Chain A
Amino acid sequence: MFTLLMLLAPFPSRAEFGDVVFNKHSEKEGVRPVIFPHWFHRIRYNCKVCHYELGFKMRAGDNVVLMSDIIEGKFCGMCHNDKIAWGADRCDLCHTGRPGLQSGVIGGASTGGPGRW
Chain B
Amino acid sequence: MGRTSREQRRVKAARCWSLVMAAAVAISTGLAWAGNWKPLAQDGLHDPSNTALSQLQNPAEALSKLPPDTAGNQVNWVKALEQGKINPRTSIYAGTKVNELDKKEPPDVLMKNTAELSMVRFPHKQHSEFLDCSNCHEGLFKSKAGTTTGFNMFNILQGEFCGRCHGAVAFPLTECRRCHNEPRPVAGGAAKAR
Distance between B7 CB and nearest chain A CB, rounded to angstroms: 23
Question: Pick the contact of B90 from A8, A48, A113 — CB < 8 Å?
Answer: A48
**Do residues A18 and B73 form an inter-chain contact, with CB atoms below 8 A?**
yes
* Residues 49-74 of A contacting B (Cβ, < 8 Å): 49, 51-54, 58-60
**Do residues A52 and B134 form an inter-chain contact, with CB atoms below 8 A?**
yes
Distance between A70 CB and nearest chain B CB, rounded to angstroms: 15
**Do residues B167 and A59 form an inter-chain contact, with CB atoms below 8 A?**
no
Q: Report chain B residues within 8 Å CB of A51.
A: 131-132, 135
**Do residues B56 and A43 form an inter-chain contact, with CB atoms below 8 A?**
no
**Do residues B86 and A43 form an inter-chain contact, with CB atoms below 8 A?**
yes
**Do residues A14 and B38 form an inter-chain contact, with CB atoms below 8 A?**
yes
Give me 26 A-to-B residue pairs in the complex whose CB atoms sit less than 8 angstroms apart, sorted by A's number. A4-B20, A8-B28, A16-B38, A17-B72, A37-B59, A39-B73, A40-B59, A42-B88, A42-B130, A43-B62, A43-B86, A45-B89, A46-B88, A46-B129, A48-B135, A53-B93, A53-B98, A93-B55, A98-B44, A98-B47, A108-B167, A108-B168, A109-B71, A109-B174, A113-B167, A116-B159
Give chain A's interface residues, CB within 8 Å of chain B.
3-4, 7-8, 11, 13-19, 21, 32, 35, 37-40, 42-49, 51-54, 58-60, 78-79, 84, 90, 92-93, 96-99, 101, 105-110, 113-117
